[in-house]
């Protein structure tokens, strides 16, 4: 019996080569080159294997023209980074996954008569907001979350991140986080590519945070994104904290950054804490103050710079030290092996509790089929679905 060969359009094969971003080995590159030269044609099994290797949807190989993947979120990235113009499949698939979840939840909430979120576009409820100072804007954002400036002082480890996430949940903002695509530990999300993104929506605003960062660093990403949601804007946060980075929207991003800094580091409290460690080196001073605010040393350094307490040279010195520590930790974890923790406990922590409850309610009411529910929750069967829901209920 003759092997069936598939006639894949050259434009599609060229697109696959580009979209794979160098993940294909030499053997695959040579195979694709032969297909492009019409020396041979791929089999169905070869295309299935290539789909998995390049992380390309299998159906793309049967298109007549180059696949069009509309990712409007890339237009809202923080800084002008050439690499982000060629997003990895990991980033693409993560964005698509969050868009699917948001689309379903927004439609479901509207159908069930939910009011629109008062936190999204929250600036509309503040009179003459354009005339207010950064401190006054930060105060209003925190007030809408029932928090006061200084809310994070003295909290430990994950407490600040979890508290803020809970407050956002109460005003209808969905917060997800992960360091991998779905449940695939072989597809890590690169910190260098993006730190977080926000997708605004009147009924289901979404924030996703890349957890390949410390919780303290994730805190600044979360604050930055919630500030975008409050102003009713979507964004892909890919700040690399370089000295001369090029913001795509300098006025907007610098404004958002200033407000985010105030939310985490109110000036009076910050300078008071700063003076307590005057006898330390500047780097040690930054680290001590950051710990007090349950924030990352780098974000504390940026705040110190803007308050003219240190120079850019100190920021660069600290960033280099933190980069080296980050690489050492990555190498250590790689050598140690992930261990993975308890799968369902980890996945439950990453999943927004309100989102999970609304999926469960829709399934139980008969308005959502199980297969769609599995896809929304990132599981493959009813057993996994029930286990994950159980763990989410345990965490509260």
Structure-model confidence comparison of residues 114 and 241, the more confident one: 114
Last residue of a domain, one of 264, 292, 308: 264
Last residue of a domain, one of 207, 229, 264: 264
Buried-exposed string 366-377: b where 16+ CB fall within 10 A, e elsewhere: eebeeeebbebb
Q: What is the count of structural domains for the chain?
A: 3
Phi and psi for 237 in degrees, rounded to 5?
-90, 105
pLDDT score of 89? 86
Closest CA to 215 of 205, 207, 223: 223
By the 10 Å C-beta count (0-12 exposed, 13-18 middle, 19+ buried), 202 is classed as middle
Structure-model confidence comparison of residues 260 and 62, the more confident one: 260
Task: State whether 95 and 139 are in the same domain.
Answer: yes
CA distance 51 to 58: 5
pLDDT score of 85? 65
Model confidence at 359, pLDDT cuts 50, 70, 90, reads: very high
Task: State whether 31 and 94 are in the same domain.
Answer: no
CB atoms within 10 A of CB 148: 10
Task: State whether 53 and 132 are in the same domain.
Answer: no
**Strand, helix or coil for residue 286:** helix
Average pLDDT score, the chain: 88
Closest CA to 228 of 246, 212, 249: 249
Task: State whether 100 and 164 are in the same domain.
Answer: yes
Structure-model confidence comparison of residues 169 and 66, the more confident one: 169
pLDDT score of 20? 73
Strands (E), the chain: 174-178, 180-181, 184-188, 196-199, 206-210, 235-237
Model confidence at 84, pLDDT cuts 50, 70, 90, reads: low
Task: State whether 136 and 161 are in the same domain.
Answer: yes
pLDDT at 338 over 60: no
Least confident of 52-61, 131-140, 343-352: 52-61
Which pTM value belongs to this model? 0.86
Whether residue 331 lies inside any domain: the answer is: no
pLDDT at 100 over 70: yes
pLDDT score of 128? 92
């Amino acid at each position: 019996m003759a092997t069936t060969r598939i006639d894949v359009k050259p434009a599609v094969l060229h697109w696959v080569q580009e979209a794979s971003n160098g993940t294909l080995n030499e053997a695959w590159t040579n195979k694709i080159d032969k297909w492009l030269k019409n020396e041979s044609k791929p089999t169905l099994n070869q295309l299935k294997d290539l789909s998995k290797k390049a992380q390309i949807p299998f159906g793309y190989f049967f298109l007549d023209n180059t696949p069009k993947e509309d990712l409007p979120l890339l237009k809202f990235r923080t800084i002008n980074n050439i690499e982000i113009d060629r997003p990895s499949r990991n980033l693409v698939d993560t964005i698509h996954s969050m868009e699917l979840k948001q689309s379903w939840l927004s439609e479901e909430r509207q159908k069930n008569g939910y009011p629109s979120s008062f936190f999204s576009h929250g600036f509309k409820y503040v009179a003459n907001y354009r005339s207010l100072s950064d401190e006054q804007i930060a105060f209003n954002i925190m007030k809408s979350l029932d928090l006061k400036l200084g809310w994070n002082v003295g909290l430990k480890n994950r407490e600040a991140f979890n508290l803020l996430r809970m407050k956002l949940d109460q005003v209808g903002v969905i917060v997800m986080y992960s360091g991998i695509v779905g449940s695939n530990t072989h597809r890590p999300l690169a910190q260098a590519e993006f730190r977080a993104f926000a997708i605004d929506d009147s009924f289901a605003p979404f924030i996703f945070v890349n957890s390949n960062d410390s919780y303290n660093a994730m805190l600044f990403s979360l604050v930055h994104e919630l500030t975008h949601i409050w102003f009713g804007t979507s964004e892909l946060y890919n700040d690399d904290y370089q000295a001369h980075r090029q913001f795509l929207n300098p006025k907007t991003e610098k404004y958002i950054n200033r407000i985010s800094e105030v939310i985490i580091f109110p000036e009076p409290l910050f300078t008071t804490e700063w003076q307590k460690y005057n006898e330390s080196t500047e780097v040690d001073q930054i680290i001590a103050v950051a710990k007090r605010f349950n924030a990352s040393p780098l974000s504390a350094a940026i705040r110190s710079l803007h308050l003219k307490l240190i120079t850019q040279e100190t920021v660069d010195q600290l960033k280099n030290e933190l980069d080296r520590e980050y690489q050492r930790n990555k190498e250590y974890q790689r050598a140690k092996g992930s261990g993975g923790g308890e799968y369902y406990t980890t996945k439950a922590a990453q999943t927004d509790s309100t989102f999970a409850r609304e999926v469960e309610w829709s399934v139980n009411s008969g308005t959502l089929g199980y297969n769609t529910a599995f896809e929304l929750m990132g599981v493959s069967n009813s057993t996994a679905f029930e286990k994950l829901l159980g763990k989410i209920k345990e965490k509260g």
